[in-house]
Amino acid sequence: MKSHAKVVVIGGGVVGCSVLFHLARHGWTDVVLLERDELTSGSTWHAAGGMHTINGDPNVAKLQKYTINLYKEIEELSGQATGVHLTGGVLLAATEARLDWLRGVVAKGRYLGIELEEISANEAAELMPLLDPKQFVGAVRNKEDGHLDPSGVTHAYAKAARKLGAEVERFTKVEDIVRRADGLWRVITNKGEVVAEHVVNAGGLWAREVGRMVGLELPVLAMEHMYLITEDMPEVAAWNAKTGTEIIHAVDFDGELYLRQERGGMLMGTYEKANKPWSEYQTPWNFGHELLAPDIDRIAPSLEVGFRHFPAFQNTGIKQIINGPFTFAPDGNPLVGPVRGLPGFWVACGVMAGFSQGGGVGLALSNWMIEGDPGADIWAMDVARYGDWATMAYTNAKVRENYSRRFSIRFPNEELPAGRPLKTTPVYDLLSAKGAQWGVAYGLEVPLWYAPEGVKDEFSWRRSSDFTQVAKEVATVRDGVGLSEISSFAKYNVTGESAAAWLDRMLACKLPKPGRMTLAPMLKEDGRLIGDFTLANLGKDGWFLAGSGIAEQYHMRWFEKHLPDDGSVRIEALGAKQTGLSIAGPKARDVLAKATRSDVSNAAFPFMAIGRMDIGMAPCLVGRVSYTGDLGYEMWVAPEYQRAAFQALMTAGEEFGIGLFGSRALNALRLEKNYGSWGREYRPIYGPLEAGLDRFVAYGKEADFIGKAAALAERKQGGKLRLRAFIVDADDADVIGDEPIWFGGAVRGWVTSGGYAHHSKKSVAVGYVPKEIADESDGFEIELLGKRHAARMQPAALFDANFERMRA
């Protein structure tokens, strides 16, 4: 075993071998994979081996499509058979709600290049003869589903990597990982140690244990997962003889089942409600090529549905039940990327769908390590989406919930209850008493809307029980004054003698003067958006940044990567140390003036001003800005003062009819202003010109900000896309994001977000289209729940297009 390497990959499952292969293919050949046993000794060897392109996040779906297309290449390069069978498949719907969801999947596939087709239940039965069409209301056909040989694929990755110069060390158990003073990593094994620049934790079932070696507690948990293999079935033999093909895959979402042919019989797997974690606290190092004891009673309810939906199973015997552990993250997506605070330490774990996602994970991580960027938008897989609130107990609760809902519908207005409430603000009980219906953002409870007594969310793809009440909250803001709780924003203090120079390089905007704020795009080296913030100059108190709360860990990782070594700049993520309130509407100034002794007239405190003032008795940092697009103020306050500030504002607002509004009303309000949001309109695949943020980029400023050259090039070349707003001739449902935008009879773009703008009484969609058609006013359609709706470009904001209200 070598004593030094550029990269050590820990874990010889399909993910670790994919990472090794991609690193070597990209030119990093001084890489070694360490496996404590034989390759595939964790979850890989007993996997069902299915593969598919469908994923809730379109960017992950692209990587899944890449993974499936990669198998032919690694088979040819390695000479190792992968056993790939591209049979195609059907996704089945037993309810109209499920069929609506599948229609959205078909629509999404149109702009992802995934060929999907809605078919009837009878047509599905013609393709997959074991199902009873009377049990279903419709289906979707996918030609890119299939299955493979898990061991063959893993060894193909490993052999291909070896041919490219990488090394694989089997029966080499990692016992500790220590960071040296010079930043290199000592990887200590039972056969000696390897010193490396980079370490990749692809430990699978042992990812937690590997993480703990460097003081990291990863939010992953293994779950027992069962599937059965039947005896040979005459129906299978007859179909094979008749068509010369295998029986295609089937996913029965409402039965929580997946099926495929296995030799002369069938394989049926289930994500049962009565699920069971495995080895909750520590994975035994001596676990290897073993299976867990089957528990057919636990999956019996699912099997009963399966035997009813697929009657041929009633007449066959079960040859084997496979029960093995697989690891999951709380939301079911992988954990991938660099770990904040541990330079050179990377993770690629929690990849439960390894044969659909393993290739994409390897590609993204190798790009990230070599080029400094994953080369794709992988936010849905980024380890930075979790913070220290994702404790072991939280992870246990959310993984069990996710597993039990693996095939369940997640409606756009549905909030999942496990692991909640965890983080709350000091006014949580006061807002709950007012009827607050809660969602969660980065672990923090956030008010979505306020329900009258006896009214709750009714989950639906269409306008639901909150529609009328959200309209009232919008009217409260537009006609008078509303108050919202805004602690879910991320807040940062930046101080130090070089803070201004550092911010000038980090952010693409012109720095504001003391007592002023500005909108501040942040770019990567390639000129793409990595963040959008409000930047405030607090004078002698330094600088204040506010941004997307879900991206706090993501942005802190970026900030800390670029901090100077001399300590001249300090940045602190304030998190729960600072809470927030906001008031907005034409009477907002009246309320603020009554609640404070400070002069808040337009002359003394104009638009984008910021300063400290007391709200009642509570010391606050107040900025004159509002995401509602109306006259408004944001107030940042230490948590011990939030209740006092809240009560002072509500008391001051009584005579002005103040009311509460939540994030669903805020979404309706911001859509009327064509305001984008991080994670939807603003993501690292778009440039500032494309996203409409170029007016905030100081192209001519002296500072050589990160991404400046690329941003200038984009401005000169014009980019490829444009962010646009549309008015949709919708029926009883509104877009939520990822719907295709049609133009001239073809899909030309995609929706990033939208909803109903209650004040303007319009259904609004925001999305990207090619710049060549971005100035067309008519001819657009947006596909929603299987129907194409006419859509008109809305170039000017529906509300206060001249910014008169917010500047008054």
Q: What is the pLDDT of residues 350-387, one digit of tens each?
A: 998 899 999 999 999 999 999 999 998 999 999 999 99
**Residues 201-251: pLDDT tens digits?**
999 999 999 999 999 999 999 999 999 999 999 999 999 999 999 999 999
Structure tokens at 491: 């807040």
Other CB atoms within 10 A of residue 640 CB: 10
pLDDT at 339: 98
Helix (H, G, I), strand (E, B) or coil at 233: coil
Residue 384 has which token pair?
């930075």
- The model's pLDDT over 129-149, given as tens digits with 9 standing for 90+, comes to 999 999 999 999 998 889 999
380 forms bridges with which residues in the sheet? none
Does the structure show a pLDDT above 90 at 69?
Answer: yes
Q: CA nearest 535: which of 625, 639, 666, 642?
A: 625
Averaged pLDDT of the chain: 96
Three-state DSSP class for residue 787: strand
The 10s digit of each residue's pLDDT in 240-293 is 999 999 999 999 998 999 999 999 999 999 999 999 999 999 999 999 788 999
- How does pLDDT run across 381-428, given as a tens digit for each residue? 999 999 999 999 999 999 999 999 998 889 999 999 999 999 999 999
Q: Are 729 and 715 in contact (CB under 8 A)?
A: no
Q: Is the model's pLDDT at 52 over the cut of 90?
A: no
Q: What is the pTM of this model?
A: 0.96
Buried residues in 320-350 as b, exposed as e (16+ CB within 10 A): eebbbbbbbbbbbbbbbbbbbebebbbbbbb
C-alpha closest to that of 10 among 1, 19, 23: 19
255 membership: H or E segment, kind and range = none
Do 93 and 138 contact (CB within 8 A), yes or no?
yes
Could you read off the pLDDT of 71-97 as tens digits, one per residue?
999 999 999 999 999 999 999 999 999
CB 730 within 8 A of CB 763: yes
Query: What's the chain's length in residues?
Result: 808
618-623 and 335-338 strand pairing: unpaired
For residue 465, CA distances in Å to 99, 266, 457, 783 come to 21, 43, 6, 24
- pLDDT tens digits, one per residue of 753-779: 999 999 999 999 999 999 999 999 899
Q: For the chain, what is the largest distance between any 2 Cα atoms, rounded to a whole number of angstroms?
A: 87
Residue 377 near residue 59 (C-beta atoms within 8 A): yes
Spatial distance between the Cα atoms of 520 and 560, rounded to a whole number of angstroms: 18
Q: Residue 48's pLDDT is what?
A: 84
Residue whose pair of structure tokens reads 């990488």 in the numeric block: 166
The predicted structure's pLDDT at residue 303? 92
Chain position carrying tokens 């009714």: 458
Sign of dihedral through CA atoms 340, 341, 343, 347? negative
Long-range contacts, 243-246 (Cβ 8 Å, 24+): 245/87, 246/85, 246/87
Q: Quick check: 47 pLDDT over 90?
A: no
CB 688 within 8 A of CB 714: yes
In contact, 84 and 146? CB cutoff 8 Å? yes
Cis peptide before 421 (omega within 30 of 0): yes
- Cα–Cα nearest to 780, from 721, 718, 727: 727
Nearest to 484 by CA among 360, 669, 311: 669
Nearest to 293 by CA among 322, 257, 319: 322
**Pairing of β 721-728 and β 618-623:** unpaired
CA gap 785, 735 in Å, rounded: 9
CB atoms within 10 A of CB 121: 20
Burial level of 388, CB count in 10 A (0-12/13-18/19+)?
A: exposed
Residue among 338, 313, 399, 286 at smallest CA distance from 560: 338
Report whether pLDDT(58) > 90: no
| C-alpha 387: how far from chain center | 14
The strand pair at 167-169 and 31-34 is best described as parallel
pLDDT tens-digit readout, 610-637 = 999 999 999 999 999 999 999 999 999 9
| Contact predicate 117/141, CB 8 Å | yes
pLDDT at res. 59: 85
